[in-house]
Amino acid sequence: MQFLNERDGLSTIREMLGKADAATIVVAFWGAGAIDSLGLRKQWQSLRVVCNLDSGACNPSEIEKIMGLGANVEVRSDPRLHGKVYLTAAQAVLGSSNASSNGLVVEGPAISGWAEANITTTDSGLLAQMRTWCDERFLTADAITPDKIALARVAWNARRAASPAIGGLSTDLVGSVRSQPDHPAFAGIKVVQWARTVSARAEKEHKRAIMADQSLTGTDIYEGWGDDMQIGDWLIDFDVSGETAKFTGYWHVVHKQNKLTFVRKKDYVEIPTIGNLKISSDDMTQLKKMVSTVSGKSLGPNEKITPIAQVVSSLDNSAPEINTRAFDRAMFAIYDQATAFGYYPHDFRSMVEKLGGIAAAKQLINTPRVSQGFTRLWEEKRLDLSVEALAVSSKWRALFSPDELKRSRQRLKEAGYPIPD
C-alpha cells in the first residue's frame, strides 16, 4: 500500500488504466478534461463508470463523452455516491481525487485543482472487497437517459455559477478575474465608459419611479443602455467626458424601467463565494490610462461597455515596450515542442488563442495550484517548457510582477528544476 498526493495520484491512475483492458471507475464527480487526463481514449474489453450526475457537481458534457467511447463502455449514475475508487484486476486507487482536471465544479483550462490524498494497493484481499463494493454500486445505479443529462446540465450550470473561484476568497478584483476569467460570476461585471449626461425626461421618470417605489430611493440611473445592463450586473464606471478618465465607483444594477437602468453605488463588487472585490491602486492607475482603448460594445462616440475579463486581458497585454506577438509565439512554441514527445496540451493552446500569451501565462501562474500541464511536463522531465520557466527567463521576466515571478520560482524549485539567475 502506498500514499499518493494529487500529482502522484494522477500519474498512478493513468498508468494503471493504461495497462488494463478492463476497469471499474466508481467516482462521484467528473470535470472537463477527465477523459484525457486519465487516458480513457482506448479500446476497452470492459469499462464500467459510476458517477453522481444528480449532484450538480458532475459535468454532464464529460459524461456524454465517456458514454461515446465505445460499445464496451457502460456509464451509470448513483445519487448517493460520494466515494472515489479506480479499480482494475491488479490494482486500485482509493481516495479523494475526483475524475477531473481540476476538482469539484471549479473549472478552467488546464487547472489541476485541489490538494488530494489517495492510497494505491495491489493486496488481493483488499481488491476483492473493493470489487464487491464497486459491483454493488454499479448494479444499484441508474441508467443515464437524455432527460437525465438535460436535468444534470441545469443543475451543473446553476452550481457552477455559485462556485468559488480558483484563487479562493479575495479582495483583488483584477487578480480574481485573472485567475479564472471564464468563471460565470465574472460575466456580470462590466466596465462602463460614458460621456453624456442623462436627459431631463429621464430625470423626471427617475423621480416618478422613486415616488412609486420607495425602495429605489438613493439610486442613480443610466439611460439608453438597453440589454447590455441586466439586473444583478456590477458596473465599474468611468466618466470619460473630460481629458482623462474619472472612476466614479462600483454600481449594482437593481431595477430596469423602459430605457432606464437603476443602479446603487457600493463600496466594492460583492460576489459571496469569491469576496468583496475592488481594483487595486496600481491596476486602477493602469486602467485609467488605457480604458479608452479597450474594445467593447460602443453606444456612442465615447461610450462603451466591456466585460471585465476582456478588460483584464487588455491590461495584461498592454505592455508597450514588449513585443507581445513575440511572447505569443513563445507560448505557442511550448505546445509545438510538447507534441514532439506525444503530449498535446490543446486546452493550453486554446487559452493562448483566446486570451493572448501574456494573459494566459498570468492566469496559469496566478492560480494557487500548479496546472495539469506543469504536472505532465514534470513527469516528462521537461519543465523547461513550462510557463513558469518561460516567465523567469531573462527575456520575459519584465512582463511579470514580483509576486508572479516569486510564485513561478517557488514551483520550479519544489519540482527540482534549476532556476536561472
Nearest CA-CA partner of 191 in 173, 208, 215, 207: 173
CA 13 to chain centroid:
24
Contact assessment for residue 251 and residue 263, using Cβ atoms and an 8 Å cutoff: yes
Q: What is the pLDDT of residue 101?
A: 46
Q: What is the pLDDT of residue 231?
A: 95
Over its C-alpha atoms, the chain yields an Rg (Å, rounded) of 25
Contact assessment for residue 274 and residue 176, using Cβ atoms and an 8 Å cutoff: yes
Q: What is the pLDDT of residue 319?
A: 55
Digit-coded pLDDT (tens) for 302-334: 688 999 999 988 887 765 556 788 899 999 999
Q: What is the pLDDT of residue 302?
A: 65
Nearest CA-CA partner of 126 in 98, 160, 97, 85: 85
Average pLDDT over residues 94-112: 53
In 158-245, beta strands by DSSP E:
189-194, 220-223, 234-239
Spatial distance between the Cα atoms of 364 and 109, rounded to a whole number of angstroms: 9
DSSP β-bridge partners for residue 47: 23, 73
| C-alpha distances in Å from residue 86, one per residue of 15, 117, 125, 135 | 12, 14, 16, 12
Spatial distance between the Cα atoms of 246 and 241, rounded to a whole number of angstroms: 9
Q: Is 23 helix (H, G, I), strand (E, B) or coil?
A: strand
Higher pLDDT, 340 or 421: 340
DSSP β-bridge partners for residue 298: 304
Residue 102 has pLDDT above 50, yes or no: no
Spatial distance between the Cα atoms of 272 and 275, rounded to a whole number of angstroms: 6
Q: What is the pLDDT of residue 166?
A: 60
Contact assessment for residue 42 and residue 70, using Cβ atoms and an 8 Å cutoff: no
Contact assessment for residue 30 and residue 66, using Cβ atoms and an 8 Å cutoff: yes
Backbone angles phi, psi at 257, to 5 degrees: -155, 120
Digit-coded pLDDT (tens) for 16-58: 999 999 999 999 999 888 898 899 999 999 999 999 998 888 8
Contact assessment for residue 169 and residue 274, using Cβ atoms and an 8 Å cutoff: yes
Spatial distance between the Cα atoms of 255 and 263, rounded to a whole number of angstroms: 7
Digit-coded pLDDT (tens) for 367-407: 888 888 899 999 888 999 999 999 998 788 888 888 899 99
| Helices and strands (H and E) in the chain: how many | 15, 17
Which CATH class name applies to 2-161?
A: alpha beta
- 275 pLDDT band (50/70/90 cuts)? confident
**What is the average pLDDT value for the chain, to the nearest integer?**
87
Residue 114 has pLDDT above 80, yes or no: no
Alpha-helical segments (H) within 20-145: 34-38, 60-67, 124-140
Q: Report the Cα–Cα distance between both ends of the chain, in Å, rounded.
A: 41
Say how many C-beta atoms besides its own lie within 10 A of residue 75's C-beta. 22
Average pLDDT over residues 171-198: 88
The residue written with cell numbers 464529460 in the block is 62
Average pLDDT over residues 70-88: 95
Digit-coded pLDDT (tens) for 132-169: 999 999 999 999 999 999 999 988 887 776 666 666 67
Stretch (H or E) spanning 287: helix 281-290
Q: Where are the domains of the chain?
A: 2-161, 173-318, 324-415
| C-alpha distances in Å from residue 179, one per residue of 19, 84, 100, 319 | 36, 28, 18, 19
Q: What is the pLDDT of residue 420?
A: 67
Contact assessment for residue 52 and residue 29, using Cβ atoms and an 8 Å cutoff: yes
Q: What is the pLDDT of residue 316?
A: 77
Say how many C-beta atoms besides its own lie within 10 A of residue 46's C-beta. 12
Residue 62 has pLDDT above 60, yes or no: yes
Q: For 72, which DSSP code? A: T
